[in-house]
Structure 1
Amino acid sequence: MPSEADIIQYKGPVGCLRHRCPLCPSPSATSSRLLRCAGCRAFRYCSREHQVAHRPQHKSDCTKIKSARAKLDREDRKVRNATVDFMTPANAFETHVGHFWGLLNTRDYMRARFGLARPLFVLGTLDSVSEGLEHVRDMLRLCRSDNMGLRDIVPFTMLRLDLDQEAYDFIKWWVTCDPDGTYNWGDMTLPYLNIHGADVLEDPSFLLGEYSSLNFTIALLILKLKLLVDIRNLKITRKVLAQSRLPFELRAQIEQDVVRSPLSAKLRKEPHASLIRTEMKLLNHVRQIGACIVEINDHFIFNLFEPVEVLCYNPESYSRGSIEETALTMQNSYATWWETEGVLDLLKDARACAARDSELEIEDWMKDEKARKGRTATEFLADMSVNRIWGYLDYAVENASYLGPWSERPSERRAKESEEIWERIMAEEAKFDDQASTDEEISI
């Protein structure tokens, strides 16, 4: 059985990707002085001693990257120096940009280039992820129609690098570029990836539908949750700073440091009432996106909370809505989920709130064998809490900016109110049953 150790590659440091020594607990303030591994060019070290100490863990990855670079160089030379025939140009880099996959002699080059990009993404350093994104974006330039499905990876990688506006623009272009199926991918004069500065707070309906891309929808969900977490951090910071006498300039600097997304620079300028309206808009968007994800593939959210098996699964193909599609999308996205601090916590708390509220119904549900399908009460509650997660996201959002005792969190207060209502209903039903029984005895 796969274990947590099998997915360690997806779980790097939580937070922004920064230049850091892998043996130091926090990013270095003097990253420009860090020593860079000459072999893979992906890791940096604060000293020769740490580079030597890390070598046993790093050697395998370093060798893979060097080998992948050497293979790419060989394939590059083959394309540039190809023997001309009726199917092969002398140098496709000069004559066939945009059409690479249509030439048989460029396919090994494209595979080799992705063979370098994939392990760079897995290494998870600022250098490796940035270089991997450069490779994939240039491969899309070389092959506009994206026969390799590289577009599924790009938004997640951009989000890891906090290129949030670029990620949104990329998603929107691919979703809207060919509304009637007439876009000519071979015509290099047509606009390509030309959306810039689209409104991230606009209604997401353009993306949501029966044939929505699971990868794009998940990427958009992470982006919206990322902004919700930033709003949470701003609300908490303002509550704390309201009790201090810090100069305005220092307050502004603190607010700047507590948000992650570059898009949140606009949120920092919003007064409290406007910030709350933006929060509600994002919350509604997340609910819409969440409901769409369930329609596209009902395996994904369940596996997001228990990702080990799908992260270790290597399907050769997939169909829409399948567990194989979930596995591939999870492998594309999980590092982004993990590194984007707060987003998984928000969903986990929404699930916990749903479970807390659903406990009252479990006893009745367990009496229905058809609904229960052989599951235990614990298993049934776990399933129910995931199914209801989007309906309880507002609870989690309220909880996230609450600074009081745990027992008084908004979700706990609501749960106690629900319990009291449930107890009254049960008491009234019992009273009604007793009265009916008494009336029956009298009639006899």
Structure 2
Amino acid sequence: MADITSTASDYKGIVGPLRNRCAHCLSTGPKLLRCTGCLAVHYCSREHQAAHWPLHKSTCIKIKKARTKLAKEDVKVRNATEDFVTPANAFETHVGHFWGVLSTRDYMRARIALVMKLLIPGTLGSVSEALEHMRDMLRLCRRDNMGLREMVPAVMLRLDLDQECYDFVKWWATCDPDGTYDWGDMTLPYLNLHGADVFEDLGFLLGDYPDLNHLVAILLLKMKLLVDIHNLKIARRILSRSHLPFELRDKIELAVVRSPLSTKLQKEATESLSQTESTLLNHIRRLGAAIVEANGNFMFNLFDPDEALCCWPEAYSTGSWEEMAVALKNSYAVWWETEGVLSLLNDARACAARDSEDEIKDMIEGEKFKSGPGSYPSAKELLEDVSVNRIWGYLDYAAENASYLGPWSERPSEQHTRANKESWARAEEEDAEFDDLLDDDAWSDEEN
């Protein structure tokens, strides 16, 4: 995949659910025209297609070439000359362990290259087609030698296939607990998990060696549901002041949620909804801690992603910067498109920073920093690091803020911060008083 290049802007499209829309003016509608070159983007008129061509040309040509390349490799596999290592048609004879046939590998590489190019436009049609390709490639190669299982969950989330995403991740996490699953046995169940409980305990996922991409995907799914709960709580508070019929209230509540799984949450009473929110917050904190343990680079680069999004590592090791870059490229479009999740994390980070300011000031003024050779970070750099490291501990503050409708100065996090600062000030006063007492005792001893 060395020929795949991208820029940070490729991952930062329109916030919200994927829709078929004009690539030029972004309008939606039932009568959009599809580009006949790439079959991946739409336009509301020929004029807008012509106007957008300078921007679309490069992507269109790359996708068209990728389709042509795949078609040629498909023909080669289907019409191969049979010998002792090459079947006449691996599509018929080697479904399930396709990669084991050397003559199929150029085909598989051509297909994943098309997938990567289809993900760049970020349209409903192109992302849906990319997922169809990946699912079929997993059917052809059960063992997944190309690592598609790392990409699929985030693509499902982009398409709001949230239950399917959870089932997919859980199947891979639990399919081979003792290492005896026979990947070549087509009679064994494969990706057959459906309707797993999204709110169940996370023990199956948080093992000794969790997959970073899967941790990120489930974290995103949980945060997506958390944002929906916040939107439901706000909608209910506003609607409680109105006299709208219940039928209209239900429609409004459904309109403010994103995940299909939230249609069930919409039916819960407010008290039950708060309990579900508490469960989600607990899961999110655990997932966040697991991600930090799996790869300490991820959260820092999530807030400053451009460098990672512009590269494509050829290989990586567990816990490395390169592993983080791949995971971020796989998931960042979902972070960006899912309204509210990045805002929630940014608010949690801001809350952590406000609460840590006094502590950082004392650290900078401490003897260690005073006597250091200048290699220690500045107060600003130290605060940035601390705020990211403590983000999961302040998620509750951000969650309270997200459901708050009052003045900014009275947000729950502001109240918590004021209380914490007052507590910090009292602790400093008590320390000062204690030091004075020690000094008094020292003088008394000298006089005696």
Determine if the TM-score, normalized by the shorter chain, exceeds 0.5: yes
The AA in structure 1 aligned to 2:432 is A
* Separation (CA, whole Å) in 2 of partners of 1:210 and 1:311: 28
Please show how residues 101-112 of structure 1 align to structure 2 within 5 Å: 101-112=99-110
Deviations 1:22-42 (A, max 9, x none): 2224x42x2x20111111111
Say yes or no: does 1:286 pair with 2:288. no
Shift of 1:343: 0.6
1:204 aligned to 202, 210, 217, which one?
A: 202
Which amino acid letter does the alignment assign opposite residue 439 of structure 2?
Answer: S
For residues 140-179 of structure 1, what are the structure 2 equivalents within 5 Å? 140-179=138-177
Kindly provide the CA deviation profile for residues 312-358 of structure 1, in whole angstroms up to 9, marking residues without a partner as x.
22222111000010011111111111111111111111111111111
Deviation digits for residues 282-304 of structure 1 (CA, Å, limit 9, x no counterpart): 00000111111111111101110
Alignment RMSD: 1.3
Judge which range, 43-52 or 100-109, deviates more. 43-52
TM-score, scaled relative to structure 2: 0.95
TM-superposed CA distance for 1:219, in Å, is: 0.3
Q: What is the identity, as a one-letter code, of the residue corresponding to 2:186?
A: M
Matches within 5 A, 1:238-277: 238-277=236-275
What SS class does the counterpart of residue 206 from structure 1 fall into?
Answer: coil
2-side partners of 1:423 and 1:99: how far apart? 66
Q: Please report how far the alpha carbon of residue 373 of structure 1 lies from its aligned counterpart in structure 2 after TM superposition.
A: 5.5
Aligned-pair distance for 1:135? 0.5
Q: Which amino acid aligns with 2:292?
A: V
After superposition, the C-alpha distances for 1:212-246 in whole angstroms (9 at most, x for unaligned) are 00000000000000000000000000000001111
In the TM superposition, what is the alpha-carbon distance from 1:440 to its structure 2 partner? 3.0
State the alpha-carbon separation in 1 of the partners of residues 238 and 59 from structure 2: 45
**Mapped contact 1:201–1:282 kept (Cα < 8 A):** yes
Cα deviation, 1:155-214, whole Å, max 9, x if unaligned, reads 000000000000000000000000000000000000000000000010111101220000
Q: Equivalents in 2 of 1:171, 1:115: separation in Å?
A: 23
Q: Distance in 1 between matches of 2:83 and 2:65?
A: 30
The one-letter amino acid of 1:403's match is L
Q: 2:280, 2:345 → 1: CA distance?
A: 14
Counterpart CA distance in 1 for 2:312 and 2:336 is 20
Picking from 32, 45, 58, the partner of 1:60 is 58
SS of match in other structure, 1:205 = coil
Structure 2 distance, partners of 1:178, 1:435, is 65
For residues 160 and 21 of structure 2, what CA distance do their matches in structure 1 show?
Answer: 17
String of CA shifts for 1:50-104, please: whole Å, max 9, x gaps: 1111011001111111110000000000000000000111111111111110001
| Contact 1:209–1:292 (8 Å) recurs in 2 | no
CA–CA distance in structure 2, aligned partners of residues 373 and 421 of structure 1: 32
Among 329, 349, 352, the residue aligned to 1:351: 349
Cα deviation, residue 46, structure 1: 1.0
1:121 maps to which residue?
119
- After superposing the two structures, state which structure 1 stretch, 217-226 or 309-318, moved more: 309-318
Give the residue type in structure 2 aligned to 1:357.
Answer: D
Unaligned runs of 5+ in 2: 1-5
CA distance in 1, matches of 2:190, 2:110: 24
Identity of aligned residues (%): 65
Q: 1:77-132 CA distances to partner (integer Å, 9 max, x unpaired)?
A: 00000000001111111111111100010000000011111010111000100000
Give the aligned residue type for 1:12.
G
Tell me how far apart the structure 1 counterparts of residues 375 and 339 of structure 2 sit (CA, whole Å). Answer: 36
Q: CA deviation at 1:255?
A: 0.5
* Counterpart position of 2:378: 376
Specify the alignment match of 1:191 in structure 2. 189
State how far apart, in whole Å, the 2-side matches of 1:202 and 1:439 are: 59
Whether 1:24 and 2:25 are equivalent positions in the alignment is yes
Secondary structure of the residue aligned to 2:154 is helix
Question: Which residue among 418, 421, 428 is the counterpart of 1:419?
Answer: 421
Aligned counterparts of 1:202 and 1:236: Cα–Cα separation in 2: 26
Q: Which sits farther off after the overlay, 274-283 or 294-303?
A: 294-303
Question: 1:136 Cα deviation (Å)?
Answer: 0.6
For residues 104 and 334 of structure 1, the distance between their equivalents in structure 2, rounded to whole angstroms, comes to 33
2:217 alignment counterpart? 219
Structure 1 unmatched runs, 5+: none
Aligned partner of 2:394 in structure 1 is 392
Shift of residue 423 of structure 1?
1.1
The answer to which of 432-441 and 100-109 deviates more is: 432-441
- Say which is worse superposed, 263-272 or 373-382, in terms of deviation: 373-382
Aligned residue in 1 for 2:8: 7
Equivalent residue number for residue 329 of structure 2: 331
Q: Matches of 2:414 and 2:375 in 1, distance apart?
A: 30
SS of the residue 1:146 aligns to:
coil
Number of aligned positions between the proteins: 436
Q: Secondary structure at the match of 2:203?
A: helix
Of 400, 409, 433, the match for 1:407: 409
CA distance in 1, matches of 2:400, 2:77: 57
User: 1:228·1:279 contact (CA, 8 Å) conserved in 2?
Assistant: yes
